[in-house]
């Protein structure tokens, strides 16, 4: 067990080494949470690089379904990668977490998460693996209870019998408003090793503009659930506001944060997230050009998208569509205003039904999770499934 003084010294040494390596590097690597390491002890928000340090993608892309890794999944929602390439997937309605072998697709149940109260769009939602997983074996989960939405961490012990491998949940954040709809639920560790969470306004539209409420926001916190020094407001977790229902979070090669969210009746959105900015809901939906609000970088008719998870692979943001039943590719130009390199392009339209979650799988590979057993889809034999895609 390290003493506090020793831990402090180690963190300082790691930070110094990280800064030295950063100064010697000519460009950014992939975002943390997608197979890359990050500076230890970082607390300020990750700064997007102004120079084109990553190769631009082609205007037109392609998608090849390489294989079905796993099928027969019940209401899958969150997806996270373990060191070594195996996957963790949450079941929204069964409140369970399952490990899936990244090569064979073999399933090993970790166990149930106590306190989850599935109903409507709520239940066991997003998952994230701690950047320090190799040392502490911590898994983070966002879920709905009888009274709120909250974020917990659980210790994973794979040496215990299957189904009994999860420790008791340690709540790091409680009191996120819940509803039958718009519970948000996506969580991810950023390049700064801080935890980000996308929340919904639960159908109470005023909460999105209420900066004292965690609903309708993107939150940024330490792994212990505390406000981060450098957040827009001291002692506040709020990183951006004016959101309706954030369901996708990802960082590009320049450490720029992107978020996908549901519109109401007109426009779904992909937003380039800047700290402290107002993304408009409920006053603005889609691109309006109104002062004081940030317009989305891309927008879709709600019938074409209903976006859920997003991932950054091969210079593009890849966005899973629920109602639109397709996978969207948004090639990034690297411009300061976030303008895409070319118009968004869709793939797999209607072929696999509702698409819930995507996750970078390394190189030009992408994991894709379907969502046909969530009560709103039309399940086919084998649903739901995890697909491995080769993308460009």
What pLDDT score does 50 carry?
52
What pLDDT score does 55 carry?
84
The helix (H) or strand (E) run that includes residue 327 is strand 327-331
Read off φ and ψ for residue 266, nearest 5 degrees: -120, -60
3-class DSSP state of 205:
helix
DSSP-assigned letters across all residues of 62-108:
-EEEEEEEE---SSEEEEEEPTTS-EEEEETTTTEEEEE-TTT--EE
What pLDDT score does 5 carry?
43
What pLDDT score does 46 carry?
76
Report DSSP state, residue 45.
Answer: P
- Residue 380: how many CA atoms within 13 Å on its side-chain side? 7
What pLDDT score does 203 carry?
97
DSSP-assigned letters across all residues of 1-32:
---HHHHHHHHHHHHHHHHHHHHH-SS--SPB
Distance of CA 216 to the CA centre of its chain: 15
What pLDDT score does 40 carry?
38
What pLDDT score does 43 carry?
61
Residue (of 294, 246, 253) closest to 149 by Cα position: 246
What pLDDT score does 337 carry?
87
Distance of CA 199 to the CA centre of its chain: 11
What pLDDT score does 45 carry?
76
Q: What is the mean pLDDT of each run of 10 residues along the chain (392 residues)?
A: 41 38 36 36 62 80 98 98 98 98 98 98 98 98 98 98 98 98 98 98 98 98 97 97 98 97 96 98 97 98 97 98 98 93 98 98 98 97 98 98
Around Cβ 13, how many Cβ atoms within 10 Å? Answer: 12
């Amino acid at each position: 067990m390290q003493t506090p003084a020793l831990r402090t010294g180690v963190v300082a040494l790691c930070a110094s080494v990280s800064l030295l390596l950063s100064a010697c590097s000519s460009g950014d690597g992939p975002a943390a949470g997608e197979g890359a390491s990050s500076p230890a002890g970082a607390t300020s928000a990750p700064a997007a690089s102004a120079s084109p340090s990553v190769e631009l993608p082609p205007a037109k892309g392609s998608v090849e379904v390489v294989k079905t890794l796993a099928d027969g999944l019940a209401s899958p929602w969150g997806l996270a990668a373990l060191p070594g390439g195996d996957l963790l997937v949450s079941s929204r309605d069964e409140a369970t977490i399952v490990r899936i072998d990244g090569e064979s697709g073999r399933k090993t149940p970790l166990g149930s998460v106590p306190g989850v109260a599935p109903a409507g769009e709520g239940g066991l939602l997003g998952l994230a693996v701690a950047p320090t997983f190799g040392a502490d074996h911590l898994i983070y989960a966002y879920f709905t209870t009888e009274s709120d939405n909250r974020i917990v961490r659980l210790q994973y012990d794979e040496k215990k019998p299957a189904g009994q491998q999860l420790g008791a949940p340690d709540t790091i954040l409680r009191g996120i408003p819940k509803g039958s709809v718009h519970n948000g639920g996506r969580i991810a560790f950023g390049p700064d090793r801080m935890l980000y969470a996308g929340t919904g306004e639960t159908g109470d539209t005023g909460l999105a503009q209420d900066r004292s409420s965690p609903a309708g926001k993107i939150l940024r916190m330490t792994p212990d659930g505390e406000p981060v020094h450098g957040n827009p407001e001291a002692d506040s977790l709020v990183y951006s506001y004016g959101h309706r229902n954030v369901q996708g979070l990802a960082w590009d090669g320049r450490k720029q944060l992107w978020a996908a969210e549901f519109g109401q009746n007109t426009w779904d959105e992909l937003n380039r997230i800047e700290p402290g900015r107002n993304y408009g809901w409920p006053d603005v939906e889609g691109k309006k050009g109104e002062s004081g609000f940030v317009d989305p970088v891309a927008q879709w008719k709600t019938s074409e998208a209903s976006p859920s998870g997003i991932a950054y692979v091969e210079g593009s943001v890849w966005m899973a569509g629920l109602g639109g039943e397709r996978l969207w590719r948004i090639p990034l130009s690297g411009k300061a205003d976030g303008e895409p390199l070319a118009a968004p392009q869709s793939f797999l339209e209607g072929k696999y039904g509702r698409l819930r979650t995507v996750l970078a799988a390394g190189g030009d590979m992408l994991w894709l999770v379907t969502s046909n057993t969530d009560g709103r889809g039309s399940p086919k034999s084998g649903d739901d499934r995890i697909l491995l895609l080769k993308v460009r």
